[in-house]
A and B are shown apart, each in its own frame.
Chain A
């Protein structure tokens, strides 16, 4: 059952550059969607738009729909949005240290939302905070609830931030690079936690990341973005096993662990374009090995691959990319 459906979302900056251009996504209840892309791909911006919290001035949503349980949140007023934020959609960030209030105890920060959205009493909210800390795997939650963020380690802070986000029982959690700042071992623990929350609470998660390894192990479906546009969406097995878009293929190939790890690495030549200089046609074409004249002039639309019910890509040559038989063997 679809919880959130974003269609044709476009976000422009003051100069009219489309930083997010016609992006369509959907997340089902209890599903983890991996949103993959490099810096400047618009993945964070697209998710901020779902909360109607665009950073900075001059950014405007210029089109599209964001339907949460069928209702378009783009038509909501600020007051209605406040009921959505936290309550319907929770958000966690890459750097918990800067997103937790340093002068407020962890418990108070978790309880705050509970009291606001549910009108819980101080004592109820505190009990709930302890319970949440237990759920996110903080040892000895009854005493930890009175700690300040600086008394927590990096991994525990990330858990605490997840607890803050979960306090109002949102249906959807947007996790913006939640493990990038963490060590691999701690990263694994946080990913376990997200999976576990999905299984237990039926939480839907949008996991924004640049790490395909994280996606492969955690997500159900994948959406790949490049320079503000969606390149490819589909189930993780289809996308990682038989990518249709050359960019997705390149991303997979340039992971250091891809082919057993010896010798030169396969790279994507060049670098991601700046927003002011997005190329015409397919935005990936200057870096693409199989680009043709068509790619430089005509913008490819998302097309569902025949025979694959949900695997779609925006590439004129999607078929030949598959034919070249890139399969990640392992």
Chain B
């Protein structure tokens, strides 16, 4: 494969909106699930996408794989335009990307055995023919830590962790370069969660996979990802290398999320509440900085005008105006939140 000068994935100003009908079908509104998002993923890189429910992180993941129609902006995979692109470009996207899902049971066809599901991928994408198929299925199952005998089982006969492994094996059958993992460990038991994270780490190393890891569990993201993007109400509010995001978050939302990670330290008190109120609905996004109603540092100016854009500081970007106020680079918000050394 000729290595191009393009990044593996390039998303620019992507927006996704869904129409919703108001009461009795009057007054059509739309939910802006994803709003003006730009990001890049290089080959072999793992980008964590975090945020609360309703932040639009899953929608973004699906829009990147062209499973959700973008209303504005572009997605390019290896430089080829995917949004509104040619069928051949989308076919090439499908040849090189795969997705793993949150619910390991419901993402597998209940009427197919694990082996049939994987074999179907191999056949459709011409990755193996005839007698080579069962051999390859066995190989893939072994790769994800299952027994080749599991090929004859149906999802119902497997545990959650085994199903998730089967889902990963099916994704790998494509021989993808990018995997979008949507909350893929959230539904699993803690001990199984760690096994799946390790598996993803292994695979990434062995196959040079790029992963878009969508999760709400920041501890897992910290463990696995090279870079992290934080979403709030459809926008990326902060993005940067993992250690920077966790150690020196610049957006007050990120610091609140980081501080809220429950740690197994009996002597650490339950952190003080760093957010006000409840997450607003994506149906009525506040004016100004969308985060200002919950921000404990919000200034009157935060409630007006357009949403603040991302400011870049080296490889770190954040969407908060508070930093302009203080002359030094560390702003008042993070001082309080830096509990992780």
Contacts and interface: CB of A to CB of B under 8 A. Distances in A.
Interface of A: 38-39, 139, 153-156, 183-189, 191-192, 195, 210-218, 236-237, 240-241, 250-252, 254-258, 261-262, 264-269, 271-272, 274, 328, 330
B192 A210 contact: no
Contact of A252 (B197, B264, B275): B264
8 contacts: A155-B279, A188-B262, A192-B270, A254-B194, A257-B263, A269-B195, A274-B159, A330-B264
Interface stretch (B2-10, B29-37, B216-224, B300-308): B216-224
Given A258-B264, A330-B263, A217 B222 contact: no
A255 B217 CA distance: 11
B112 interface: no
Given A191-B270, A265-B194, A255 B216 contact: no
Nearest to B242: A261
Given A184-B218, A240-B266, A265-B198, 14 more contacts: A139-B277, A156-B278, A184-B217, A189-B273, A217-B268, A217-B269, A240-B265, A254-B193, A256-B194, A267-B191, A267-B195, A268-B191, A268-B194, A274-B159
B260 A256 contact: no
A256 B220 contact: yes
A316 to B, nearest CB: 21
Contacts, number: 140
Contacts of B278: 153, 155-156, 186
Nearest to B159: A271
Most buried by B among A250, A256, A272, A274: A256
A29 B277 CA distance: 31
B201 interface: yes
A251 B190 CA distance: 7
Contacts of B271: 188, 217
B315 interface: no
**Lowest 10 A-B CB distances belong to which pairs?**
A213-B262, A257-B219, A254-B194, A183-B52, A38-B189, A268-B191, A256-B219, A184-B260, A267-B194, A265-B194
A156 to B, nearest CB: 6
Contact of A256 (B159, B222, B277): B222
B173 interface: no
Nearest to B191: A268
A224 to B, nearest CB: 12
Nearest to A237: B266
B262 A217 contact: yes
B222 A261 contact: yes
Contacts of A155: 278-279
Nearest to A181: B53
Contacts of A186: 52, 278-279
Most buried by B among A210, A255, A328: A255
Interface string B250-293: 00000011001111111111110111011101000000000000
B234 interface: no
Nearest to A255: B264
Contacts of A139: 277
B15 interface: no
B240 interface: no
A195 B222 contact: no
B191 A254 contact: yes
B261 A257 contact: yes
A250 B191 contact: yes
Contact of B279 (A153, A210, A218): A153
A186 B263 CA distance: 16
B265 A328 contact: yes
